[in-house]
Amino acid sequence: MSLAANTAGANAIGTLNPAPTARWLEGPSELAPLLLRAGELRPLLAVGAAGGGARNSLLLQVDLIEQMLLIDPPQPPLLEPLPSRLALSTRIDGGALDFAADLVGHCQFESEPALRLHWPSRARYLQRRSAYRLDVPRDIPAPAVRFETESLRFTGTLVDLSRQGAGALVPSSAPVREGSLLQCSLRIAELEIHAEVEVRSRLNRLDRARMGLRFARLSAVSAERLSAAVARLERLQLRRAAERRTRLGF
């Protein structure tokens, strides 16, 4: 599982691990790339309106020509008369996107009810998820993580993941310590990722040890798969949080 050093891999890991930054996007030319990306992902939305608590929705479509957004009717439903403006938040490729948009009214999307909104005039984008660890749910297909050096091989269980690193449970007998470099192969659903990782921390717990890992080297392909895996976990986390809020009546 050798990973040869390459410029593409180094550039990819640098791109995946930017320092957390927040910036305002102004006007269609700056907003279009991010909104169109959101249209591809169709992420969950947290929706706020004056005089009410947060609601859950889904982005259905981003119309570049008419500069309109279509969203699923929020749950719990908005009260009539509909508010003129909605506050929306979502997660896109490891960043938090927040904006307010004017509500046009009801419409249909693929024969189902929807709401139509104007594009926002500005949006705040905070790229902050690169260092945040996302728990890997037990019902997500994630086979054992394989670790390898020139002299040993062992497996572990992936417990969390970010664009910078991961956490794994391994046998306490695994002869690795902080600072060790390992070749690592992990899988999230159908996404297989190969990387060189550095052991940044190790905490022994009875017969197992929890290792904190930093991605030291990734190929361009694995970097792209890692980004997709983290985005998938983010969407799952947001959806389950929205489901919990709905069950609790928020």
C-alpha 119/C-alpha 100 separation (Å) is 9
> What pLDDT, on the 0 to 100 scale, is given for residue 163?
84
For residue 148, give the nearest of 136, 156, 140 by alpha carbon: 156
Residue 220: strand, helix, or coil: helix
For residue 33, give the nearest of 103, 123, 102 by alpha carbon: 123
C-alpha 57/C-alpha 238 separation (Å) is 11
Structure tokens at 58: 């889904």
pLDDT > 90 fraction of the chain, expressed in percent and rounded: 40
Q: How confident is the model over 46-84, as pLDDT tens digits?
A: 888 765 667 889 999 999 999 999 999 998 888 888 889
> What pLDDT, on the 0 to 100 scale, is given for residue 44?
85
> What pLDDT, on the 0 to 100 scale, is given for residue 247?
53
Does the pLDDT of residue 240 top 60, yes or no? yes
Q: Where are the beta strands (DSSP E) in 110-150?
A: 112-118, 122-127, 134-135, 145-148
Does the pLDDT of residue 91 top 50, yes or no? yes
pTM: 0.51
Residue 145 falls in which region: left (phi positive, over 0), alpha (psi -120 to 50) or beta: beta
Per DSSP bridges, beta strands 122-127 and 85-92 are unpaired
How sure is the predictor about 239, in pLDDT bands with cuts at 50, 70 and 90? low
Residue 231: strand, helix, or coil: helix
Q: Higher model confidence: residue 108 or residue 142?
A: 108
Average pLDDT along the chain: 81
> What pLDDT, on the 0 to 100 scale, is given for residue 53?
66
Q: Higher model confidence: residue 17 or residue 236?
A: 236
Q: How confident is the model over 142-186, as pLDDT tens digits?
A: 668 999 988 889 999 998 888 889 999 999 999 888 999 999 999
What domains appear along the chain, each with residue ranges and CATH number? 21-127 (2.30.110.10), 134-238 (2.40.10.220)
